[in-house]
Amino acid sequence: MELTKHGHACVVLSEDGQRVVIDPGVFTDPAVLGGATAVLVTHEHADHFAPDVLRSAMDADPALEVWTTGSVAGQLEGLGSRVHVVGDGDAVTVAGLEVTVHGELHAVVHPDIPRVPNVGFLVAGQVFHPGDALTVPDEPVATLLLPVHAPWSKLSEVIDYVRAVDADQAFAVHDGLLNDAGLGVVGGLLGERGPGTPTPYSRLAPGDSVEL
C-alpha cells in the first residue's frame, strides 16, 4: 500500500489500482479527488470536508462513494446509497479494503463549543486516521496518522497519544497551520528532543509518498 500526504489532514491510500482519499478539506487541492475510488470523511469541519468540492467530484464520477458520519451525510443529500453512514464499532469494505471505525466525538475545543461527531478509520488493519480526536483503537495499528497541531490539543497530549496507540510508525497530519519553526519544534519533541515514545515519527511534505 502507498500512502501519499496531501494538504493538512488529507491522505491518499493506493493499492492495486484503488485510491482511497481521506479528509479532503479546504486546505487540500480538489484535484486529489480525480481518479478516487472512495472517500472517507472523519467529520464535518471545513479543514476535513468541503461539501461543494466533494459533491462536484461525485457528480463527475457516478461510481465514487463516501463513508462518513451522519452529520456529513446530511450535507450530501440527494446522492442516495453512494453515501454510507458509519459509526464506532462498524466494519465495512471500502474499495476492496477492510475498514474498521473507531470513536464517536470530536475532541473538546472549549467547553462552550458543542462537540460534533467524529470517527476514525483503520484501513486494511494498517493505517489509522483518527480525524480530530485522540481515539485509541482496540486493535493494533501499524501506521498512525498523527494530528500534531490543532486548537483542541497540546503537544503533551499528542506525545501521550503516540504512547497509548503504540504504532509501528507515525506520520504527521493536521499540520497545515504550522510554519517551518513550528514543524521543527513538533518534530523535535516527538523525536530526539522529547521525552520519548515507542513509535518513530516523521513527516511527509504534501505530495510525498511512502510504501507501507
Q: Is the pTM of this model over 0.85?
A: yes
Q: Residue 77 has what pLDDT?
A: 93
DSSP label at 194? S
Cα separations in angstroms, 53 against 12, 31, 41, 62, 116: 16, 10, 13, 15, 21
Over the stretch 89-107, which tens digit does the pLDDT of each residue have?
A: 999 999 999 999 999 999 9
Q: Where are the domains of the chain?
A: 2-211
Q: In the chain, which residues have pLDDT < 70?
A: none
| Predicted pLDDT of residue 128 | 99
DSSP notation for 117-136? B--EEEETTTEEE--SS---
Residues facing residue 170 across a β-bridge: 144, 201
Q: Hunting for cell 504527521 — which residue is that?
A: 172
According to the model, what pLDDT value does residue 146 have? Answer: 98
Residue pLDDT, tens place only, 129-172: 999 999 999 999 999 999 999 999 999 999 999 999 999 999 99
Q: What is the pLDDT of residue 64?
A: 98
For the domain made up of 2-211, the CATH class stated in words is alpha beta
Terminal-to-terminal C-alpha distance of the chain: 5
E strands in the chain: 2-5, 11-15, 18-22, 38-40, 65-68, 83-85, 91-94, 97-102, 120-123, 127-129, 143-147, 169-173, 201-202, 209-211
Please give the grid coordinates belonging to residue 180.
Answer: 517551518
Rg of the chain over CA atoms, in angstroms?
Answer: 16
What is the pLDDT at residue 130? 98
Please state the length of the chain: 212
**What is the pLDDT, as a whole number, of residue 182?**
97
Phi, psi of 188 (to 5 degrees): -65, -45
Residue 115 confidence (pLDDT): 97
How high is the pLDDT of residue 9? 98
